[in-house]
Amino acid sequence: MTTAAGAPIVVGVDGSPSSLDAVAAASRMAADRHRPLRIVHAFVWSLLSVPYGIGGGAPAGPGLRDEADKIIADAIALARSAAPEIEVDGEVREGASAPVLLDEARRAWLLMLGDRGLGGFASMLLGSVTAQVAAHAACPVLMIRPTEHPDGPVLVGVDGSGQSDLAVGFAFEEAAFRGAPLRAVHAWRHPVSVEPGDMLPLVYDVEEVEGEEERVLAEALAGWRDRYSDVPVEQVVVRAGAARTLVDESARARLLAVGARGHGGFVGLLLGSVSRAALLHAACPVAVIRDRAA
């Protein structure tokens, strides 16, 4: 995650209710973190040689560019209403949404999006832009959902991998800022290979493996617990699938943090099965965390 003092929180908007929810949440986070807020709208019509005025299927009104400017102006007004003390700027950038947001992510502390924008089918719980950005962004991505549980814990999935460690750090920081407890969940179904060439046993002692999994979780939290000693932590080890466990746990959480890819994923996959399941099905906002060098 970018730690430079001036790095902004960036939020993408398209005028949809979901993106405006993201603006309101981003404004409050920018105020809490003492960071500037940058609001971006991707304007693709000029690249398609579509005239800015009425006609050719364009929406009625003063023109497509004027509509894009209004989306930014309305979002800035909402941000200043939600958090008057923050520094906020907005820009209409030419280009398709995903490439524009991925470029913005290179200079952002955090990128925030709604779970579904304009043009998505009502039954689709994850917008295509959000999925692409979460898979490739060079900074943490926080997807806002309309369902939130303000009295719940910050939830983090832990598997002992490097990107899981980044998610643990993000979750501790969020719990500290929000005055919330942290619930750290480690799910396992069978022994896993952690080194190339590991031979997995065909038969194993469940209690022995469970003890080892509890050690993995405790070690993953140890350094962060020392740094954030005021954050209450609950450790949960469960023999079950990680994706289903975290989705179920999200029904009581105010935020879920996951690594972009954990143990067991193919190197070429930039978004693992657990993080994708969380984005698709979690009942709370989801933060996908990855190393900027990934």
Whether residue 90 sits in one domain with residue 216: no
Note down the domain range covering 201.
154-289
The rounded mean pLDDT for the chain is 82
Q: For position 265, what pLDDT does the model report? A: 44
Boundary-marking domain end, from 77, 109, 144: 144
Task: Write the pLDDT tens digit of every residue in 183-203.
Answer: 999 998 765 544 544 444 555
Task: Write the pLDDT tens digit of every residue in 20-66.
Answer: 999 999 999 999 999 999 999 998 765 444 444 444 444 543 578 88
In this structure, what CATH number is given to the domain that contains residue 260? 3.40.50.620
Whether residue 167 sits in one domain with residue 278: yes
In a domain, 149, yes or no: no
Nearby residues of 4 by Cβ (< 8 Å), 6 or more positions away? 109
The answer to whether residue 231 scores a pLDDT higher than 50 is yes
Helix (H) or strand (E) holding 183: strand 182-188
In a domain, 2, yes or no: no
Q: What is the DSSP letter of 282?
A: -
Whether residue 21 sits in one domain with residue 131: yes
Whether residue 200 sits in one domain with residue 135: no
In a domain, 89, yes or no: yes
- Residue 234 CB neighbours (<10 A): 11
Write phi, then psi, for 40 (nearest 5 degrees): -130, 135
In this structure, which long-range contacts are made by residues 68-76, counting pairs with CB atoms below 8 Å and at least 24 apart in sequence?
68/41, 68/43, 68/92, 71/13, 71/14, 71/15, 71/41, 72/13, 72/39, 72/41, 74/15, 74/20, 75/11, 75/13, 75/19, 75/20, 75/23, 75/39, 75/41, 76/39
The answer to whether residue 4 scores a pLDDT higher than 70 is no
Whether residue 136 sits in one domain with residue 170: no
Three-class secondary structure of residue 157 per DSSP: strand
Task: Give the count of domains, the chain.
Answer: 2
In a domain, 45, yes or no: yes
